[in-house]
A = this chain, B = another copy of it.
Amino acid sequence: MTMTNITLAHGNGGQENNELITKIFYKAFKNDILAKSEDAAVIENGNLAFSTDSFTVSPIEFPGSNIGKLSICGTCNDLAMMGASPKYLTCSVIIEEGFDVKTLKRLVSSMEEELKINGAVVVSGDTKVVPKGSVDKIFINTTGIGEIKQKGISSNNIQEDDVILVSNSIGKHGATIFAAREGIDFSTNLKSDCASLWPVVEKLIDENIQIRALRDATRGGVSAVLNEWAKQSDICIEIEEEKIPVCDEVNGVCELLGFEALSLANEGTFVMAVSKEQVSKALEILKSMQTSKEAVVIGEVTSKHKGKVVLNTAWGTQRFIDLPTGELLPRIC
């Protein structure tokens, strides 16, 4: 497919997004670190993780979180997913002329709170103000450096017989943003899962769980993570539909959207691969913590269809889960 203009699908965290990144950015910036396609780059002899994210979510405040909290969770989580303790962050904001200072203070105060949870500090920043119409309200970039506490976590070396877990019921962030944007009041119970994951990961590491692969299922959801893992590790991931935790509100949004919960974004939910031997200990630790108390095994690694994700449905049939395509929800994070 020839690209002539950038479409919303190019930012979906799925197939078109991968195409844009590979054909334009990876091609120009080619290097061994980038080629690994991890959540964060591993630098300085494997001691530091380094990751960036720009946040453009709309609305900027929504049930369970706001763009400020999200901007700290998002980048700290990317570091945590590489087994790194978040340490130093930069924060760069682009604000629309006329933006309300009280709202800004509220966002910054959420950032401050979330930094404490991660034990990280903002050490450098940048503030741009642009005329009305040049940006919609506020965009925040955070970039972080973390100290790697467990080496070897990688989406490139998941092994046959490994077990796949999710840490939380899935799709809540995507469903919340959709509901907030459309003014739908599903229920007071639906809110974004936005949360900092380092405390959970730290606990796993402290308890000697050898994490094979770890990724927060943001844009493109669990489908995108599993598809990338299946390809990068050249394995087949088989998941059981009946085991996938989805709450009623998220199921409701999925029916409305015609989406699958597996493709909806999460902001405080991770997918983990661990060995069969360690899975029950890992589950016990996850269930003991608030952020991951709904953790559950959803599948395992086989060699049936290498590079593919297979869903065993509740009806006893099987189908492939592909990398999400199309527009999904723009400005989800």
> A residues near B, CB below 8 A?
3-11, 17, 20-21, 24-25, 28-29, 31, 33-34, 40-41, 43, 50-54, 56, 58, 88, 90-102, 104-105, 108-109, 111-112, 115, 121-131, 133-136, 139, 141, 143, 145, 330-331
Contacts and interface: CB of A to CB of B under 8 A. Distances in A.
14 contacts: A4-B100, A4-B102, A6-B99, A6-B101, A7-B129, A21-B125, A25-B125, A31-B122, A31-B123, A54-B92, A54-B94, A56-B130, A131-B330, A131-B331
Given A88-B43, A92-B141, A112 B52 contact: no
Contact of A136 (B112, B128, B135, B143): B135
A14 to B, nearest CB: 12
Given A52-B90, A52-B125, A126-B54, A95 B6 contact: yes
A68 B12 CA distance: 23
Nearest to A104: B24
Contacts of A127: 10-11, 17, 20-21, 25
Interface centre among A25, A90, A97, A126 (most CB of B within 10 A): A126
Nearest to A138: B6
Nearest to A134: B136
Contacts of A143: 52, 90, 92, 141, 143
B135 A28 contact: no
Nearest to A124: B41
A220 to B, nearest CB: 12
A40 B24 CA distance: 29
A91 B25 contact: yes
A123 B128 CA distance: 25
Contacts of A96: 6
Contacts of A135: 56, 134-136, 139
A113 B99 CA distance: 37
Nearest to A111: B28
A131 B10 CA distance: 11
A127 B20 CA distance: 9
A136 B145 contact: no
A143 B92 CA distance: 9
Contacts of A7: 97-98, 129
Contacts of A3: 101
A132 to B, nearest CB: 9
A69 to B, nearest CB: 13
Given A4-B101, A131-B330, A145-B145, 12 more contacts: A6-B97, A6-B99, A8-B131, A25-B127, A29-B91, A50-B90, A50-B123, A54-B128, A54-B139, A56-B94, A56-B128, A56-B130
